[in-house]
Structure 1
């Protein structure tokens, strides 16, 4: 089963080292973590990824590296996530190899259709809600987009963008397998408790029978 919570670690939001933060999330039950460092050079990102991979792999937590399949492969990470302006999924796959996951961001139905035809292991859709994480975010797509994406593919769907603990249940009900969370998790007074809240909601919602057009 695809992890219901996808924690994204952004050094621009986390005050201090990433390692202790990632370890705490792993202890809370988080099984999927992404390193999203848009500001550092390749050397620093690679060092961060190596340290996180060494920390998380023994805890059965998969580390995804944003944008850089080369760094994902070198660091021993569990996968790479690429956006529409990055390498295509198949090119990323050639670089990082078959065992690693490749995730793709999508913002339109046509992009979802195209991603569904690739070897991508999951498809991210969003931003579902308004977000302050990106400086120039794509237009908000809403829950209807999540439902539409769910109807187009059997691949795991990851919803992203403005997701909070108050909104995540409706995201799961719309058909998302996972919720990618950045600010609501990283900026929480107690990120570990917040992560457990998300996981508890996911468990509760996913026990219920699905209804509606998905």
Structure 2
């Protein structure tokens, strides 16, 4: 089983920092796992940011995950790739990228988790925990009770694939949600505010 860090930062569009700069700042502040997520950008724009972010990852001992795009993950030799339920299936991405890369998949239900695990996902991002403005067409909110129920069902099924909570998480949510047995958390806005703070410019 590949090592999956317990905190992941997901880059966001609505900041003074570019996606690669967000990755740099996170790596500089001890976050080792950053996902580049640029839903409204062109492939060329994503590739340019991903290449810069990979340079920062190499210099600062971080790991970079690409959201959705198998081709960009391949072009920049990313450490990981995260795929949604409607993206390229995990097993097909694995055939292209090989066994060395970490590939995770999105889930909203127990059935989704089983599907992603059956296709060979190294981890599953389960969410959303609560409403989040960073994602359009949001799936039904799970909440703490939902995570407790699903994690219990996974234990009964002997499914040990790491589950990462995602979607609207605050720092105060981490301890309660980790108590469910979840492996880790993916955070965007709350982590950005904590590390970078409200700013009209990107810190150097």
Using the size of structure 1 for normalisation, the TM-score is 0.82
Kept in 1: contact 2:105–2:116 (CA 8 A):
yes
For 1:23 and 1:143, the matched residues in 2 are separated by 31
In structure 2, what is the equivalent of residue 203 of structure 1? none
Residue pairs, 1:1-214, within 5 angstroms: 1-10=3-12, 12-147=13-148, 148-149=150-151, 150-151=154-155, 152=157, 153-186=159-192, 188=193, 190-191=194-195
Q: What stretches of structure 1 of length at least 5 have no aligned partner?
A: 194-214
Identify the residue that residue 200 of structure 2 maps to in structure 1. none
- Deviation string, structure 1 residues 42-96 (Cα, Å, up to 9, x no partner): 1111111111011112322110000001100101211110001101110111222
- Structure 2: unaligned runs, 5 residues or longer: 198-204
Moved over 4 A (4+): none
* Cα-to-partner distance string for 1:104-134 (whole Å, 9 max, x where unaligned): 0001111111112222110110101222221
Query: Structure 1: how far apart are the matches of 2:18 and 2:112?
Result: 35
Contact 1:70/1:96 (8 A) holds in 2: no
Separation (CA, whole Å) in 1 of partners of 2:47 and 2:164: 25
Deviation per CA, 1:3-47: give whole Å up to 9, x if none.
Answer: 12100012x122133333322211221111000000111111111
1:130 & 1:175 partners in 2: Cα distance?
22
Alpha carbons of 1:145 and 1:57: their partners in 2 closer, same or farther (altered >3 Å)? farther
